[in-house]
Structure 1
Amino acid sequence: MLLNELDSFNAKVKAFTVLGIMGVVLGLYLAGYWFLWKIGEPPFNATPKTIIDYWVYYGTQPQVKKWLSICTVAGFIPPLIVIGICVAPINRKLHGDARFANTAEIKRNKLLGEHGFIIGKWRGRFLMLSGQLGALLSAPPRSGKGVGVVQPNMLSWPDSVVLLDVRKESYRLTSGFRQTFSDVYLFSPVDPEMRTMQWNPLDYVSDDPMLRVNDLQKIGNMLSPDPADGDPFWPASCRTLFLGLALYVFETPNLPRTFGEIVRQIMFGEGETVGEHWKEIIEQRDESAMPLSSACKAALYDFIFTSGNTQSSIRKTFTAKLELWLNPLVDAATCRSSVDLRLLRKQKITIYLGILPKDLDYLSLLLNLFAQQILELNMDEMPEDNPELKYQLAWIMDEFTAPGRMPVIAKAIGYMGGYNIRPFIIVQSISQLIATYGIEVAKTIIECLGAEIVFAPKNKEHARTVSEMLGDTTVKAKSHSRPKFDLKGGSTNTSETKRALLLPQEVRQIGKKRQIIFVENMNAILCEKVFYYKEKVFKKRLLPPHVQSVAEYTPPAARVAKPKPKPAKEEVTEVDGQLVKYVDREIVADDIETIDKLSLTDYNIDFEKIELPENEPATDEEMQELFGSFINSIAD
């Protein structure tokens, strides 16, 4: 006997033993109950031992024995019936008994509550997905995703929410209502009028030097991850260069701590001289009162000491990844922060990611970084450990695949619920999700969500998949047969056969007003869609939209690369019969501090070309001519 078969056998023996003991005890109690009732004694005084005592003391008396026997049999009949029902094999349908959920099941699964995601409508009441579960909606374009899911939830969700609002439609319809009870922000980083919330990813980097490198490396890993296939050298080199530049910006007090500044720093210098430029900066800082940290210098030297062609390639790869921040609109949107993202579970905050479809691909890196930072900042503490985390955060991702693959969502989706972060993913089809994330990751995403909503699919393959998910049911089919030349004879046979609960073509024909919902641990629900513009509760919440303020931004000052000074020249000249060595070099900015201590002999200038005024004191015109002659001598 196999181990699992033995375990199953032992479990059955234990179950039968428990049922048998309970049946005997209950039978004895009921027998005593009926006997006391028969003889006029209070039946509630019965115990399992009552009937045994009467059998011992009065079982020999014929009249008493008769009623003891009747009551004993009557007492054991109910427990025997119950045991029989428990051990009787379930009469399962041959081909399955799939069906749609009924009201009792829906109530039992607490889908008719008052809180949670609105996922549909059942007989006039909203279906609400409560708890910490997330949801998935797959619906073709123009099938009512916005009117049936996005807008109803934005007009009803009571806590914080982050919404990927392609076309800014939801912002226009729902922001007015949401600003009545929460802070509202529109993040639209390429808005021509700069009406956008501002978010600086570097504001969340620690001021503690011991923690700063860790924070910056996390950002670097997101910006330049190792490829699944290919050489990891270039992404790793870009991450190291990013770390060095970011640390330099943080360790230089007069520089703004922004991505735009990091990009501007690496753009300073031309071609291979960029390495020499940073080597000079490190040397200058070493001689100053604010030397760069060892981590900063190590990261920069890793870039500086690469060969010329490799250095140029690293720099080009780096700037190609971050060229987005050369756009002054993006630089403005990320130069400071309008709201602390760590407060999303402590306060009621609504953030609309207002990205137009044409900009989704262009801004995909920015959206990925935004998603990563929100999750990292809000997945460091469980609500049970901090009473200040009293609100849930709904992450509603309309057109989820449009910005491209977001690895941080795929990795964190299984843990979000525990931190009161509830994802609601909206795609046009499951195949679209698979195309973006791969079949295994797509399966993981779907399995981690508590409900899957399906509108009538246009795709045959998706319809077939939904039909298979609904399961099969057993139906009876009649067949008639008769002899070839016997018009009146024949027979009719009835047999059981398999049929899908809904065939693929029937799935595609559920209509524009109905939908199917798959919820874990229950039968699928065939219900009505929600249309926010038909619901009184939502129509009265359509208020004038929130107006996002203009971003605060000061354009960076134009930077001109200082010319590299010519190398110093040494000359030996005879003065008064002695050889004197002179070092001839260009004047630099540092000479300004000591210029008043220099004499005329310290300048390598031919003063004979300077025309001195004939009259003393000189007039203003003569002084101007003298000054011009002096400047010309320096220039020569």
Structure 2
Amino acid sequence: MKIKMDNAVGPQVRTKKGAGGKLLPVLGAVSLGAGLQSATQFFAHIFDYQANLGGHFNHVYAPWSILEWSSKWYSHYPNEIMQAGSVGMMISTVGLLGVAVAKVVSSNSSKANEYLHGSARWAGKKDIQAAGLLPRPRRLLDVVTGKDTAPSTGVYVGGWEDKDGNFHYLRHNGPEHILTYAPTRSGKGVGLVVPTLLSWGDSAVVTDLKGELWAMTAGWRKKHAKNNVLRFEPATANGSVCWNPLDEIRMGTEHEVGDVQNLVTLIVDPDGKGLGSHWQKTAFALLVGVILHALYKAKDDDTTATLPSVDAMLADPNRDVGELWMEMATYGHVAGQNHHAIGSAARDMMDRPEEEAGSVLSTAKSFLALYRDPVVARNVSRSEFCIRDLMHSDDPVTLYIVTHPNDKDRLRPLVRVMVNMIVRLLADKMDFDNGRLVAHYKHRLLMMLDEFPSLGKLQILQESLAFVAGYGIKCYLICQDINQLKSRETGYGPDETITSNCHVQNAYPPNRVETAEHLSRLTGQTTVVKEQITTSGRRTAAMLGQVSRTFQEVQRPLLTPDECLRMPGPRKNADGNIEEPGDMVVYVAGYPAIYGKQPLYFKDPIFLARAAVPAPKDSDRLVQFAEAGERITI
């Protein structure tokens, strides 16, 4: 029993089979046709149907003419027709013998399977175009003004050089998310972040560690992209926009308790490790009640509740804390009735032993210590914009969250609160019309989160990646390496789902072997042919007795971990500034990996012109306050 082996494995089974299996039958038919043609022309030659002009025919007959002539004239010219038939038979026999020999050789020859051990390969131009990363040609004059909508839009994910040495930007404009692996000082800012912010026209949220992105991109975004640019720098005394997290609580609705609980969860869990201790859990319950009480009381007093005021309420030296618990348990919050969540929190504290209640109170106050800084307290005392402005304002809004390195750790809880609220409040409503999603936003939102694992584990961010794209939110997440992302202590753990929900992953040359191994696995396995030469005979002989060469298909990674670690990085001068770009790899789900080249904004005159637009001295403000405290929307 003959078994037919199917060696076409992997994605290549989707490609159309070539015409190699039809070649031999075609050659056999050609041999028969050549025999008929030869017989026809020979018979014509016998009867001088051609002139003797250097051996060239002056007329060529159809191959089957010999068959017509033999049926008509065989009785008159049997010898001539037999001679012509003999010539045709000889030509056809020679051709068919050649086809038979080719068939025997083909059957007895080993056929290498180029996909035997893997089919990974580097992407070509057609692959990159199919993945949607190659833009249309740009028009320089219009792009400088920022008014040209004809070129392709989107975020920059890398660059690519074709066979002719031409450099192409790789841009992605779909709703899917992007994850970047780039070590510190590798050039991700000048190669990916700055070009994106100097071209993205819709709203954006940007984590700006040192304020560099504000300096290089805010000017163009305000002047040419027509964005309102907001600089939220809570640790600075001047120039920052103010934002009060408590203004985002949807008071008087069914969401108020849930909003406060989500806020307090971030306050008492600043690192995202979960509420593991008894004191965190009890402090959580207490702060939920106190913040709700502060909100209702401020509403009645026509004042504004803030986190500094909540801290002052708990740490008031002129008032016994027991009086606060009693006030919370008896105050008429809703139509003269005590709020159940507030009263329960107060009664829990009154029922606790004095020592335990003191420990719960001190734990709760410790989480609010950040807001005792008068600078931070002033910047969170009121809201000069609201979260919904990012996607629902008449003009796009770009929010820069600036936290300098010396303030990064202490400001982390506040930044976590802001990012959490952005995701929750902007991805809360979805309607459909005729089976299609109806957009409820005016502008798409790009969340450009550099060094996002440094914010700690944001569970809402990890979970929301699976659905926020449907609400017009596109995340561009940047981390140093895979270890930072999968860390059990400070990251999302080995079972994280962020990589699963990012359609595009790109990477600069890594520093850690774990990241190199991850990139190698993403690139895939390929099949290569190994040549082996065997010699036999005496070493002293004039000639070797025998030399044999064998070829064998073997497996290897298309990009090995050590090759990944040795990818050329950017070339820097003596001052540490980048002069020439290095290599990078880009992965798009469903397509071959792209071996690319890092883009550099300062190598492009368009980006240089845009980055030269001076940034505003102060942040824009979408809401101003009159002297009497009345909010005025701009």
Alignment TM-score, normalising by the size of structure 1: 0.68
User: Which residue, 414, 418, 425 being the options, matches 1:366?
Assistant: 414
Seen in structure 2, the aligned counterparts of structure 1 residues 520 and 319 have a Cα distance that, compared at 3 Å, is same
Cα deviations by residue, 1:52-83 (Å, 9 ceiling, x for unpaired): xxxxxxxxxxx9xxxxxxxxxxxxxxxxxxxx
Once the two structures are TM-superposed, the CA of residue 451 in structure 1 deviates from its matched residue by 0.8
CA contact under 8 A between 2:177 and 2:476: conserved in structure 1?
yes
Q: Cα 1:152–1:274, aligned 2, differ >3 Å: closer, same or farther?
A: same
What is the aligned partner in structure 2 of residue 152 from structure 1? 195
In structure 2, relative to structure 1, the CA distance for the partners of 1:460 and 1:475 (3 Å cut) is same
TM-aligned CA deviation for residue 354 of structure 1: 0.6
- Residues 1:448 and 2:501 aligned together: yes
Alpha-carbon RMSD? 3.1
1:601 corresponds to which residue? none
What is the one-letter code of the residue matched to 1:149? L
Is 2:208 aligned against 1:165?
yes
For residue 235 of structure 1, the aligned residue among 262, 271, 280 is: 280
Aligned to 2:258: 214
Give the match's secondary structure for 1:110.
coil
Report SS of the residue matched to 1:480.
Answer: strand
Aligned twin of 1:110: 132
* Counterpart among 293, 299, 311 of residue 263 in structure 1: 311
Q: For residues 418 and 282 of structure 1, what CA distance do their matches in structure 2 show?
A: 41
**Residue of structure 2 equivalent to 1:493:** 550
Structure 2: distance between partners of 1:300 and 1:317: 16
- 1:503 CA drift (Å): 2.7
Kindly report structure 1 stretches of 4+ aligned residues shifted beyond 4 Å.
89-92, 225-232, 282-287, 289-292, 383-388, 549-554
Query: Which residue pairs with 1:392 in the alignment?
Result: 444
- Cα pair distance change 1:504/1:282, threshold 3 Å: closer
1:488 corresponds to which letter in structure 2?
L
- Partners of 1:387 and 1:427 in 2: CA distance: 30
Q: What is the SS of the residue equivalent to 2:134?
A: coil
CA distance in 1, matches of 2:561, 2:508: 13
| Structure 2: gaps (5+ residues) | 1-67, 69-110, 136-151, 161-165, 571-581, 627-634
Single out whichever of 375-384 and 511-520 deviates more from structure 2: 375-384
2:183 counterpart of 1:133: no
Give the number of equivalent residue pairs.
465
Using a 3 Å threshold, how does the CA distance of structure 1 residues 541 and 400 change in structure 2: closer, same or farther?
same
How do 1:137-536 residues align onto structure 2 when only pairs under 5 Å count? 137-180=180-223, 181-191=226-236, 193-208=237-252, 210-224=254-268, 233-252=278-297, 253-254=300-301, 255-269=303-317, 274-279=320-325, 281=327, 292-347=338-393, 348-382=396-430, 387-435=439-487, 436-442=490-496, 444-485=497-538, 487-490=543-546, 491-511=548-568, 512=570, 513-536=582-605
Report the Cα distance in structure 2 between the residues aligned to 1:285 and 1:463, rounded to whole angstroms: 60
How does the TM-score come out when normalised to structure 2? 0.68
CA gap 1:550/1:152 in 2 versus in 1, 3 angstroms: closer
> How far off is 1:292 after superposition?
4.7
More helix by share: 1
Cα distance in structure 2, aligned partners of 1:429 and 1:377: 30
Secondary structure (helix, strand or coil) at the match of 2:243 reads coil
Q: CA shift at 1:383, angstroms?
A: 7.6
Q: Deviations over 1:101-143 (max 9, x none)?
A: 0011111222123122111123433211121011111112111
Q: CA deviation at 1:201?
A: 1.1
Conservation of the 8 A alpha-carbon contact between 2:218 and 2:615? yes
Cα deviation 1:147-202 (Å, max 9, x = unaligned): 001100010111000011111111111000011210001110011x3321111111
The equivalences for 1:45-64 within 5 A come to none
1:235 aligned counterpart, secondary structure: helix
- State the percentage of identical aligned residues: 26
Q: How far 1:387 sits from its partner (Å)? A: 4.6
Give 1:363 shift.
1.1
Larger Rg over CA atoms: 1
Shift of 1:225: 5.5
Distance in 1, Cα, partners of 2:238 & 2:620: 5
Give the CA deviation at 1:382.
3.2
Within 2, Cα distance between the matches of 1:407 and 1:498?
Answer: 40
Partner of 1:58: none
Q: CA deviation at 1:96?
A: 1.6
More off after superposition, 316-325 vs 299-308: 299-308
Over 3 Å counting, the alpha-carbon distance change for 1:495 and 1:298 in structure 2 is closer
AA paired with 2:182? Answer: A
Counterparts of 2:604 and 2:293, CA distance in 1:
56
Gaps of 5+ in 1: 1-62, 64-88, 555-636
* Cα distance in 2, alignment partners of residues 433 and 172 from structure 1: 28
Amino acid at match of 1:440: P
- Matched to 1:95, the amino acid is H
Alignment deviations for residues 370-400 of structure 1 (CA, whole Å, 9 cap, x no partner):
1111111100123866555132111011111
SS of 1:360's partner is helix
